[in-house]
Amino acid sequence: PKEPSGSLSTDSIKIKKEVANAFVKRKKRASPYEWYFEYHKSPMEQMQERCENYPPCDYLSEQVGFALAYNRFFG
């Protein structure tokens, strides 16, 4: 059913879960290492997130690079 504006209503777009599962497949992980790295971040990634969450460090990292900005604020 079309709405007066000419667009489809959200009810006409919905599909059943069983039908969606027929053509949308979850990506399967190939090895235990992929499971591990999904849940455990590397120290470098943790440092980058810490810098990104602190606006002055994030801004400075765009100007001079991540390593210098991180050392300036947290090193």
pTM (two decimals)? 0.51
The answer to whether the CB of 50 falls within 8 A of the CB of 74 is yes
pLDDT for the residue 25: 67
Confidence category of residue 70, pLDDT binned at 50, 70, 90:
very high
The residues, any chain, with a CB within 8 Å of residue 29's CB and separated by 6 or more, are 35, 38
Domain ranges of the chain: 41-74
| Tokens 């969450």, residue located | 53
- Predicted confidence at residue 39, as pLDDT, reads 78
Locus of tokens 């971040």:
41
Q: Over the stretch 4-61, which tens digit does the pLDDT of each residue have?
A: 555 666 666 777 777 766 666 666 667 777 777 777 888 999 999 999 999 999 999 9
